[in-house]
Chains A and B, each alone.
Chain A
Amino acid sequence: MRAAVSWIRAVVPGLPADVTTAQLADRLTALGLKLEAIERPGHDITGPLVVGRVLSFEDEPQKNGKTIRWCSVDVGAANGTGEPQGIVCGAHNFAVGDLVPVILPGGVLPGNFEIAARKTYGHVSAGMICSARELGLGDDHAGIIVLPPDAGAPGDDVFDVLPLRDEVIEFEINPDRAYALSLRGVGREAALAYGVPFTDPADRPAPSSPSAAYPVEVEDPVGCPVFTGRSVTGFDPSAPTPDWMARRIQLSGMRPISLAVDVTNYVMLELGQPIHGFDRDKLAGPIVVRRAREGERLRTLDGVDRNLSVEDLLITDDSGPIGLAGVMGGETTELCETTTNIFIEAAHWDPVAIFRTERRHKLPSEASKRFERGTDPTIPLIAADRVAELLTTYGGGTVEDGVTSVGAAPARTAILIDAELPARVTGMDIPAATTVDNLRAVGCSVVEDGSSLSVTPPPWRGDITDPFDLVEEVARIVGYANVPSVLPPAAHGRGLTRSQRLRRRIGRTLAGEGYVEIVSFPFIGTKDLDALGLEDSDPRRTVLRLANALSSEEPSMTTTLLPGLLKAASRNAGRGASDLALFETATVTLPRATGPAPIFGVDQRPSDAQLDELDKALPAQPLHLGLVVAGERERPGWWGEGRAATWADAVEAVRRVAESVGVEVTVRAAARAPWHPGRCAEVMVGDAVLGHAGELHPRVCTAYGVPGRTAAAELDLSRLLEHAAAMVEAPGFSNFPLAKEDVALVVDASVSVADVEAALREGAGEYLESIRLFDVYTGPQVGEGKKSLAFALRFRAPDRTLTEEEAGAARDVAVRLAAERLGAVQR
Chain B
Amino acid sequence: MKRLRQFPTLHIDTNETRSLKYRGKSLQGFAGDTVATALYANGIRIFSRSLKYHRPRGLYNLDGESSNTCMEVDGVPNVRTENTLLKDGMVVKAQNVKGSVDHDLMAFIDKLDWLMPAGFYYKTMHKPAAVWPVAMKAIRKAAGVGTISADYKVKGRYDEIFLTADVCVIGGGAAGMMAALTAAESGVRVIVLESRPHLGGCWDYRTGAYKENKPLFARARELAGQVENTSNIRVFKQTSMVGAYNNNLITAFQVGKSNDAFTERYVEIRSKSVVVATGCIERPLIFENNERPGVMQVACAHRLARSYGLLPGEAAVFSIGHDLGLEAALDLFDLGLKIRCVADIREDGHDAGLLAALAERKIPVLKGWVAAKAHGCKQVTKVTLATLDGTVKRHIPCDLLVASAGHTPVNGPLILAQTNIAYDNHSGFFLPKKLPEKMFSAGWMTGRSHPQAIEASGQVAGLKALAAIGVTDKTAVFAAEKEAAALPGIDRGCKLVTAPVKGRKSFICFDEDTTIKNIKQAIDMGFDVPELIKRFTSAGTGPGQGGIPGHNLPLFVSKYTASASKPMPTAVRPPLVPTLLATYAGAHHHMFKRTPLHASQKKGGGIFRNIGVWQRARYFSSDFDCKDEILNVRNNVGLLDSSTLGKFRIFGPDALKALQRLYVSDMSKLKQGRIKYSAMCNDDGCVIDDGIVIKRGDNDYYVTTSSGRAGNTVEWFRYHTRYDGWQYHMVNLTDAMGVINISGPNARKVLKKIADADISNNAFPFAGYREFTVKNTIPVRAMRLGFVGELSFELHVPSSYMQSVWDMLMAAGAEFNIKNFGLEAQNVLRMEKGHIILGQESEQRTNLLDLGLGFLWDRKKTAAKTVGAVALRQAENDPGRFKLVGIRMQDDARAPRDGALIVDTHVRGYVATARKSFTTGEAVGMALVESQLSKPGSRLEIYEDECNEIRLQARVVPMPFYDPDGQRMKM
Q: Do A and B come from one complex?
A: no
Measuring CB to CB, which residues of chain B are less than 8 angstroms from any residue of chain A? none
